[in-house]
Structure 1
Amino acid sequence: MRIEVTIDKTKPLPNGALEALSGELLKRIDREFTDNSHSVHVRYASTNNLSVMGGAKTDKDRIEEILQETWESADDWFSAD
């Protein structure tokens, strides 16, 4: 399963945020999907979007939830220092 998150480039994040988001999202997805047959890519693009290729509809729904939880808890795992 390939997971791609795109962030609107007109609303840049602090330095290191893309890498931190990618790492945190991968950790959380690894806990949920233990088969380790997935990759996570986070990058800037023209719009915010989530693409899940190679997974079931229920997988995409769960990944959307994990992404939302990860984004909302950024104060707990991201430090811009």
Structure 2
Amino acid sequence: MSEPALTLDASGLKCPLPVLKARKAIKGLEAGQTISVHSTDPASPLDFKHFCNSSGHELVSEAESEGTFTFLIRKGA
């Protein structure tokens, strides 16, 4: 898999800010490009799943390490 077109560090931000910042950042991407988002908010996994399902983007992967969640999102059409 290729490197994400953009990486967003939303560490330290609480709901809904990580998703809001990701939504704003993803607008600048072309359809099919990916963004990697890092968040420390425990609600992030549920928030990003809902965001992707409701906005037509694909949650490619989700991982957690030492309290930091990493999401790889592919922009929809």
TM-score by length of 2: 0.31
Higher Cα Rg, which structure: 1
Q: Which one has a larger percent helix, Structure 1 or Structure 2?
A: 1
Does 1 or 2 have the higher relative contact order (CA < 8 Å, sep 6+)? 1
TM-score (norm: length of structure 1): 0.30
More strand by share: 2
